[in-house]
Structure 1
Amino acid sequence: MGMKYVAPVGVLLAATTFLGVSAHAENGPVGGKDLGGRGLVSPAGVKAPPKTAAKSYVVADAETGEVLAAKDPHGRYLPASTLKALTALTLIPKLDKDLKVKPSSRAVNEEGSAVGLVSKPIYTVDDLFKALMLVSGNDCAMALAEANGGLAKTLRDMNTEAQRLQAFDTVAKTPSGLDKPGQSSSAYDLALIARAGLANDDFQRYISTKVDKFPAPKGYYEIGNHNKLLWRYKGMIGVKNGWTSKALGSFVGAARRNGHTIIVSVMRHEGYFWDEVADLLDWGFATRGKAVPVGRLVDPLPAPAPLPTGPATPLATPTRPVTSASPAGDAAGAASGSGGIPAVGLYALGAGLLGGVIWLVYGIRRRSR
């Protein structure tokens, strides 16, 4: 079998893991040099953004990607349940919406917020995504991870997706956002994730649903969206709010008015943030198009082009005889050829590595745009 392609995201992950290199530090912060500080960054010549108790926030124009104002945008904080936006964005394209799922006992007993799953095959993937985004079901996050092939695979997929989005401040250690050492995100990354999610029809459908029916062993019950602004802010689309005792309050959301969409993300808020988020959205709508942006939400890395593959080269005939004493070992030798790795494999591997390096350089240079 030939190697079809080498994803640039994998190369970025390898560079970060094995070389200890930050994938975005060399050319400055992602989104622009003004986004590298810890303080408030706002445009000149317009009214200052409203005050908020959040330690970090971003206000951005979803269509243009322009960051209108920010405070400590790349500060790394615990994301709480806002991380579920990444979970949904990662898994929606991978899972059949009509697939029936029987949650494991681990999923059913997941701590924290839950929709109340039982270990019976009465839920579709679509049901689980709804409850994930409406009522922040940690049990649903684990059940979806199991449907995707397990927790370890899902976390790899989530971190790969974060790298593809150039959300380099984000490290997923759980699919639910429950606090875990090493897990992090930033207001900038949450805005990137929300912007990417808005381009997915199913994602947008889940986050904008106010009330829906959820299966029960006998019938169903109603669940309601925890995003308070869906109920009272004109044009609110949704996305995700979160809270834990260690992360404090976090939120990422988007609203659309007069054909324009504004994204607001806040992290580490100690109190009631809903009114402040509404004020930041109002300011974003009033400011867009009237001020020089302080930065930009970068685009995702481009998908790699598949490398051409040809027919497999015939392998060399093993030189040592096959004996009944070691059939398994000799079969393995025949499969690999006398040199261990076929020449075509070496060429494909070399081409893949070269392509990965090119994508890595390309991604690094794009970050400061």
Structure 2
Amino acid sequence: MGMKHVAPVGVLLAATTFLGAPAHAGSLVAPSGAKPGGAKNEPVGGARLGGRGVIAPTGVKAPPKTAAQSYVVADAETGEVLAAKNAHGRYLPASTLKALTALTLIPKLDKDRKITPSRRAVNEEGSAVGLVPKPLYTVEDLFKALMLVSGNDCAMALAEANGGLATTLADMNAEAKRLQAYDTVAKTPSGLDKPGQSSSAYDLTLIARAGLANADFRRYISTKTDKFPAPKGYYEIGNHNRLLWSYKGMIGVKNGWTSKALGSFVGAAKRNGHTVIVSIMRHDGSFWGDVASLLDWGFATRGKAIPVGHLVDPIPDPPPLPTASPATPTPAPIAVSDPAGTTRGEESVPPGLYVLGAGLLGGAIWLAYGLRRRFR
């Protein structure tokens, strides 16, 4: 009995079933117990940043004391963390969360787009710029008021312009994960206190550092005063960041306060071509002097001490999937005319083969018949 040939398609199917689907080389599944952004059981940014007390370098003057329960001092260019206290302590961020709101939404919204705030946005509680439900504002106007006067009404209006509150919160939390700001959970776009919302001094530093790389973000946070549209003309608004008016080289970022969060601040200043970022959380008094002292210490210490940790880089975007090349079309059979005038495809069996096969079969029968008679 002759051997049957397996069709090529069958071979491919069998091979696929046997081998299974290929694994994705870019899998982000971490081993059990590992924390994203660091080695197993190591805090993001380095092992020393897991401590609750003050973490400072040796061989240099100690950082100044502060009433803040948590802080980070970092070099924005190198990413070196120069000193910290309870860097990953999770606290209510208050309006410092607006830095994440701005960083998330600036790339998504056309700054020249006209916005008509909803009644919900206009009536948002807490600090506000005083929106009215009329098409008076551009997205850029709202971003300026968000970062200058901490407008909660602007935060809601921007969230609605981005497709709604749920969409914006999902985008903010995705951006936090991209930055490896894993202590941060956004429950509001404004930073108003809400159960489950959190951030850390380390995360606020990551967010500020990423924001400084965006030209529009830098422009909004460094603006001292601006004109804001009103039903009858405009009125002036001024930046709530006091250090913009008093600290040499202050770039700005964002301050915040609520009765539950207490005082919080994240800010950046530049001197002699170098930028230092300071973040503080849960300060129970006026924190401006403490922040200025920490900035001074950071400028005096950078480049002279071994860092206590580092600011991690954002997770890179996944590489684009390879573009499938278009399938090569199967050439149509070439029509060939035989001498009899009939048309056949190139894969048809030529008539000569039939004649040859018949001759061979007849010869075999005749040989078998002759051998049979001989043996008899």
| Distance of aligned partners of 1:303 and 1:235 in 2 relative to their CA distance in 1, 3 Å threshold | same
Letter in 2 for 1:149: G
Q: Deviations over 1:274-324 (max 9, x none)?
A: 0000000000000000000000001101111111344899xxxxxxxxxxx
Deviation of 1:171 after TM superposition, in Å, equals: 0.4
1:249 match: 263
In the aligned structure 1, how far is the partner of 2:143 from the partner of 2:149? Answer: 10
1:363 match: none
Letter in 2 for 1:254: A
Considering Cα pairs closer than 8 Å and 6+ residues apart, tell me whether 1 or 2 has the greater RCO.
Answer: 1
In the aligned structure 2, how far is the partner of 1:311 from the partner of 1:157? Answer: 33
Q: Paired residue for 1:186, among 190, 200, 204?
A: 200
Q: Paired residue for 2:316, among 291, 299, 302?
A: 302
2:301 match: 287
Letter in 1 for 2:207: I
Deviation of 1:23 after TM superposition, in Å, equals: 3.2
In the aligned structure 2, how far is the partner of 1:67 from the partner of 1:261? Answer: 12
Q: Deviations over 1:71-125 (max 9, x none)?
A: 0000000000000000000000000000000000000000000000000011000
Instruction: Map 1:12-161 to 2 at 5 A.
Output: 23=36, 26-161=40-175
The answer to which of 160-169 and 299-308 deviates more is: 299-308
Could you list the structure 1 runs, at least 4 aligned residues long, displaced by more than 6 angstroms after superposition: none
In the aligned structure 2, how far is the partner of 1:312 from the partner of 1:123? Answer: 48
Deviation of 1:27 after TM superposition, in Å, equals: 4.1
Secondary structure at 2:61's aligned position in 1? coil
Letter in 1 for 2:289: D
Letter in 1 for 2:179: L
1:226 aligns with 2:240: yes
Letter in 1 for 2:261: A
Aligned alpha-carbon RMSD (Å): 2.0
Secondary structure at 1:167's aligned position in 2? coil
In the aligned structure 2, how far is the partner of 1:105 from the partner of 1:219? Answer: 21
Secondary structure at 2:251's aligned position in 1? strand
In the aligned structure 1, how far is the partner of 2:35 from the partner of 2:117? Answer: 37
1:354 match: none
Residues 99 and 207 of structure 2 are in contact (CA less than 8 Å); yes or no, is this contact kept in structure 1?
Answer: yes
Residues 35 and 42 of structure 2 are in contact (CA less than 8 Å); yes or no, is this contact kept in structure 1?
Answer: no
Q: Deviations over 1:28-50 (max 9, x none)?
A: 00000000011110000000000
In the aligned structure 2, how far is the partner of 1:126 from the partner of 1:107? Answer: 16
In the aligned structure 2, how far is the partner of 1:160 from the partner of 1:28? Answer: 22
Letter in 1 for 2:177: Q
Q: Deviations over 1:191-233 (max 9, x none)?
A: 0000000000000000000000000011000000000000000
Residues 149 and 240 of structure 2 are in contact (CA less than 8 Å); yes or no, is this contact kept in structure 1?
Answer: yes
2:220 match: 206
Secondary structure at 1:238's aligned position in 2? coil
In the aligned structure 2, how far is the partner of 1:290 from the partner of 1:122? Answer: 51
1:346 match: none
In the aligned structure 1, how far is the partner of 2:45 from the partner of 2:309? Answer: 5
Unaligned ranges ≥5, structure 1:
1-5, 314-369
Aligned residues: 302
2:211 match: 197
In the aligned structure 2, how far is the partner of 1:172 from the partner of 1:307? Answer: 31
Unaligned ranges ≥5, structure 2:
1-23, 328-376
